[in-house]
Amino acid sequence: MTAERKLFGTDGVRGEAGTFLTAELALALGRAATESLQADRPQVLIVRDTRESGPMLESALAAGVAEAGGDALCAGVLPTPAAAVLVRKLGLDLAAVVSASHNPFKDNGIKFFGAAGSKLTDEAEAQIEAVLAAGPRPAAPGHVRELSGGEEDYLRALQAAFPLDLSGVRVALDCANGATHRVGPAIFERLGAEVEAIAVEPDGRNINDGCGSTHLDNLAAHIASSGATVGFAFDGDGDRVLAVDGEGRTHDGDELIALLARGQAARGELGGGVAVTVMSNYGFHQAMADAGIEVATTKVGDRYVLDELRRREWAIGGEQSGHIIDMRFAATGDGIAAALMTMRELGDRDLASVEAMEKLPQKLVNVEVADREAIAGATAVWDAVEREGAELEGRGRVLLRPSGTEPLVRVMAEAPTAEEADAVCKRLADLVRQELG
């Protein structure tokens, strides 16, 4: 039985920098993660995004690695998926990413990738917490070094995996003032595209601020006044991507995965089915059924999608939020790689002309609660979920779950009409507020 994790959530250790995620905690995590490897002189890669707290936490994390007898190799600002690529390419023992993904600049986080380039399992994270709780053990200190060339290595890996000719294609990129602000435009330009890049001037505080994959209006407005036929919006650390077509319509992760899966299946390249989370739109499942593509459903978190892909030996999966995994490139969500896969699938077509699935109207409400775990015992809520689900069977669905990182309960409903989805969601959200306060 896996030990309970108290620090790690669905995507590493995350919280407000300087209060919850302090330099002391970062040092302790670096030390414990290195000790848990039980290796002689572990080599640990560290990358970060553009938050102002990043250098502080990077330094503390590196100090913890060295204190435990490892060598910390600091590569600076790079997307999260670059860590997954480089730890494998360079033959390192561990990679650590300092980032809070799509969260505001005040937050930060630390997540780890193993030597094979995938996020650590729940069991491995629980082991790190156990080592941390046991306290430090004596070790001959290692070194902290700067790693140069990591950005170029990542760009070469992308170019080798996706040797596209994008000559004459005008692409807009919203880099969220985050970790993709250099490498995102660079790879599209190398492939011949005309690139219009926005949100590429990080100042430490403007990451995800009115831009990126959580604020698609910014990219849609830019496309409306430009000649770009397609746009991609990344999140702060670059492991997510959403798209906007030349007519200003947005396309989420479900739609992009459906496009990739249907195209690959038609060519006999899919190699099985697709894995998605419980958040995927009901319309996605209908589209995959129509195409004869098997779908596996997991709980929320790209690590669980990855586990399912491995178990079934499939290649493609992801989340509605824009985490898209192709195991043939990297064992984690990679926003830039997913954007390039989309361009490869489109060929000479415009994204506006392609309809890989028909989305059902969806309503999502985040209900703030004092204790998100208390939802497990809210019998009246779960009885209502069962009733509402039975009413929508064959036409839509409902989903209720606690957030993995925030004091929220997420309530979602999908139905044939927006009005019905809104009504179902409101009834359930009101009941959660009533029961949990």
Q: Which domains does the chain have, with CATH numbers?
A: 13-148 (3.40.120.10), 165-353 (3.40.120.10), 362-436 (3.30.310.50)
User: What percent of the chain is predicted at pLDDT more than 70?
Assistant: 99
Confidence band for 294, pLDDT divided at 50, 70 and 90: very high
Considering the entire predicted model, what is its pTM?
Answer: 0.91
Q: What is the pLDDT of residues 189-240, one digit of tens each?
A: 999 999 999 999 999 999 999 999 999 999 999 999 988 999 999 999 999 9
Give buried/exposed letters for 396-419 (b at 16+ CB in 10 A, else e).
Answer: bbbbbbbbbbbebbbbbbbbeeee
Segment 388-403 mean pLDDT:
91
pLDDT reading at 319 higher than 50? yes
Q: Does residue 101 have an active-site annotation?
A: yes
- Count Cβ atoms below 10 Å from residue 357 Cβ, excluding itself: 24
**pLDDT for the residue numbered 376:** 92
Which residue among the candidates 36, 53, 59, 101 is catalytic per the annotation? 101
Report percent pLDDT > 90 for the chain. 89
Give 138's pLDDT tier (boundaries 50, 70, 90): confident
The pLDDT of residue 3 is above 70? no
Distance between CA atoms of residues 436 and 236, nearest Å:
32
Local confidence band at 1 (pLDDT 50, 70, 90 cut-offs):
very low
Average pLDDT on 344-365 reads 94
Task: Report the pLDDT value the prediction gives residue 160, as an integer from 0 to 100.
Answer: 98
Average pLDDT over residues 180-187: 98
